Amino acid sequence: MVLANSVIRFYGRISYSLYLFHLPILYAISYLYAEKIGLTTVKLITFLVVTIIAQLSFYLVETRFCNWLKSRISLR
């Protein structure tokens, strides 16, 4: 089953953050390094950087906000 795969579930959890950050980071890395290191390497670096930033954003922003929201709702 596809959903039993931990890699698929990991990227599913951070998918919104991936969506938010992928394009600005791709443009920045392409602008700064595309001529020096090549497009394939730019794509690989972008994938790695975006995954790290999306994971941090998920845990530091989304998870905290959801927990805060749940605590606000349960208090009422």
Residue 3 vs residue 8, higher pLDDT:
8
- Calpha distance 59→31 (Å, rounded): 29
Task: Please determine, for residue 1, whether its predicted confidence score (pLDDT) is greater than 80.
Answer: no
- Calpha distance 75→42 (Å, rounded): 48
Percent of the chain exceeding pLDDT 90 equals 80
Q: Strand, helix or coil at 38? A: coil
Q: Strand, helix or coil at 76? A: coil
- Please, what's the b/e burial string for 10-29 (b: 16 or more CB within 10 A of its CB; e: otherwise)? eeebbeebbeebbeebbeeb
For 5-23, what is the mean pLDDT?
Answer: 93
- Calpha distance 72→76 (Å, rounded): 7
- For the chain, the domain total comes to 1
The range of the structural domain enclosing residue 28 comes to: 2-75
Residue 27 has what pLDDT?
95
